[in-house]
Structure 1
């Protein structure tokens, strides 16, 4: 086939080949020849040796037709040059070119040889078989990508069109370990706890979830989907950490989420029986994902709840030996949705000895001191009242100290009742020391402007009545304390027994 030429009879390929040849020879230090580089039949011209241009074999026939038309049009419109005719041009273009030797510098024979090899490689033609094979590979790759995209689209459409009730929920095996409970604050009504939660669910077999092998896991992997939950009545989370890993079990791969939390939980305490009360510390974990998507279940090979009682600092509490805690795993309705929930109730009984000794014991001693004022002569009203008022102020101080042990309450606790009773006894003694002497001694007899009488006829009766008053007051005070101690012991036993019975019934029910 004749090579296309320009209007002046020159071949555009020759100019490109010549410029390329000059660049190569200059870079390799070869002396260029005065004559032009002979024409080399090239199927494709490639400027970058690393990327060879490949044409689609289906378009070869069309390209050949277009080239023939262009050649005919160019040959018809081109002007013949001197000594040359259009027929000579066609004949010259079909002749095989004669290689022309290229002079080179001394010592550059190797460079010239390598340059010729490079030029022959650049302009080497591509066989039709290679073009056809490349085109076939491109068509197959495009068909595979189209098929993969179609499958993903159909899968996504089917998932969107599937009713919500038919989508299977993830089953998450959940276990909770409470290694430590501490800082139970009765005044501020909160407690601190360390909670470790372990959740296990199967690794989804799809393109969206992939995990490294256990041997290659560096600890930084986080799954695409993770369970979400929160602690109810949470005041503060001082520390939180989660670690994700995988393991093989039963021929299936599972995702294991291990989280550790240090939380401060608010707890409304029932202090009506203080200091012989029993309390429930509620630790409630609520799932944020509805049960239609994720359901918590108990593990088969371990306990749902574990409590380490040896590392707990309970202050003035102690665990109920018969039932240290109860738990329940169920689906609860919260905020117009149903979600999994775990309730853990830690059963505690207060140690009342501290409060009996430091509060009730002090009130008993101070109130009993008011009886000592009977040692003063009943007519010395001033001295007796001074002693009584000092004891009243002391009782008020103890009541203020007790207020710092308990939060503001709308009811009276058992210890409040005893403190108020001691205060009322001291107040009653003060009233007695004021009123009884007025039956025997008038204000004239003890006037501040006249001298006191040297003798008093009813003094003996006055002293005897004051002694009787002393015996009545001390008897009432002692009887009250005995009755209160018996009542407090019976109350403590009743509260503890009822609390244990409810705990056992609750655990048996769940």
Structure 2
């Protein structure tokens, strides 16, 4: 009797175990893989890049495409741009197409694969953290963070490999201040949305275009003026060292002029916690003028009170002249290193042009596109570096 009850319990346990396994298999078979939403971004117009507030204006078209599912015909990834500032204007249209982008009907029997093609036009202002270490020879990236509202187990955002993203350089509204590059970089990542009862992992698509600041304005209106102010500090040695009051009057005037000039230039930049190339140059110039002022006070005291030979002033003049030349050489080297990054960006433009040319139907069209890119780069190379 005991043996039969034991066998009966074992049979019940085995049956319940089989039921659990079958339930898990049915539930796992019902889980659908995440949808792939391919994206293509077209920068149809770029406006002013405001360095002080770290933002830029843009009009972009986001083309999203995913497989049509009749059982979930109303499904949508609900894309939005995360780094948008304030309210942005959006226009959204969509239709069903085949693999050749021809319109089809949902019940079409002639088409095996149907896609949902959504075009979203977004106009607004977007935030971008600017890296100003190399200012005014800096290269900035202007990025859009496109996020899907649904979690990653429902959809993921990927690049459209057949139609890459592009930027319209002819409609760039800040061409007097910036140089817009041809190439665009994209990257897919995952972010977490914390404004919910349970954190949601969302697919994020980053699309970035690059602009380089045209440094010519700062060469002539900042660097040249500071150079002249600093150079004039060396001409003070033409005044006799036993007249320190005359020397100090000139150097203090130059020092105050440099401080006011630096303050007016600093208002063009946000309050960053590091020094830019221009900051380093102006600060070294201020230190140079200050050291000259200190020396003029010392030599006046030594000549008047201790009857020290005035020839020591000539040695100090030579020492300050060497220091003046050395730190200008170092500043020129630093500026050339910053400008070298622009050659790398131009090489990326050439590779991107070759990539786009490979997608044209004929060799002649592709060759013409590459040549057009090269001509455009050569014509703007001077303004890019000067």
Post-superposition CA distance 1:236-259 (Å, at most 9, x none): 344222224452186376544322
Instruction: Mark the CA change 1:228 to 1:356 in structure 2 (over 3 Å): closer, same or farther.
Output: same
**Following the alignment from structure 1 to structure 2, what is the Cα–Cα distance between the partners of residues 186 and 331?**
27
5+ unaligned residues in a row in structure 2: which ranges? 1-25, 97-102, 194-198, 353-386
Aligned residues: 312
Instruction: Mark the CA change 1:486 to 1:205 in structure 2 (over 3 Å): closer, same or farther.
Output: closer
CA RMSD of aligned residues (A): 3.5
Q: Which residue of 1 aligns with 2:51?
A: 186
**Following the alignment from structure 2 to structure 1, what is the Cα–Cα distance between the partners of residues 121 and 268?**
32
Post-superposition CA distance 1:294-313 (Å, at most 9, x none): 4445557x414122122223
Q: Which residue of 2 aligns with 1:176?
A: 41
Post-superposition CA distance 1:459-505 (Å, at most 9, x none): 9x53x444444343334323332332234213432x44677799999
Instruction: Mark the CA change 1:165 to 1:348 in structure 2 (over 3 Å): closer, same or farther.
Output: farther
How far did residue 418 of structure 1 move? 0.8
Q: Which residue of 1 aligns with 2:336?
A: 489
For residue 232 of structure 1, the aligned residue among 79, 82, 107 is 82
For residue 248 of structure 2, the aligned residue among 385, 410, 420 is 385
**Following the alignment from structure 1 to structure 2, what is the Cα–Cα distance between the partners of residues 399 and 327?**
38
How far did residue 187 of structure 1 move? 1.5
In the superposition, the TM-score normalised over structure 1's length comes to 0.53
Q: Which residue of 1 aligns with 2:303?
A: 440
In the superposition, the TM-score normalised over structure 2's length comes to 0.69
**Which one has the largest radius of gyration?**
1
Higher strand share: 2
Post-superposition CA distance 1:196-243 (Å, at most 9, x none): 12234466547x96xxxxxxxxxxxxxx54330221222234422222
Instruction: Mark the CA change 1:183 to 1:165 in structure 2 (over 3 Å): closer, same or farther.
Output: farther
Contact 1:171 1:294 in 2 (8 A): yes
For residue 163 of structure 2, the aligned residue among 298, 303, 328 is 303
Contact 1:331 1:338 in 2 (8 A): no
Contact 1:326 1:503 in 2 (8 A): no
Q: Which residue of 1 aligns with 2:379?
A: none
**Following the alignment from structure 1 to structure 2, what is the Cα–Cα distance between the partners of residues 332 and 294?**
11
5+ unaligned residues in a row in structure 1: which ranges? 1-160, 210-223, 444-457
**Following the alignment from structure 1 to structure 2, what is the Cα–Cα distance between the partners of residues 407 and 202?**
45
Is 1:367 paired with 2:367? no
For residue 91 of structure 2, the aligned residue among 241, 261, 270 is 241
For residue 270 of structure 2, the aligned residue among 388, 407, 411 is 407
Post-superposition CA distance 1:311-344 (Å, at most 9, x none): 22345332446xx22113x462523444433211
Contact 2:172 2:180 in 1 (8 A): no
**Following the alignment from structure 1 to structure 2, what is the Cα–Cα distance between the partners of residues 197 and 402?**
38
Post-superposition CA distance 1:405-444 (Å, at most 9, x none): 221122222211110111111111111211112222139x
Instruction: Mark the CA change 1:429 to 1:287 in structure 2 (over 3 Å): closer, same or farther.
Output: same
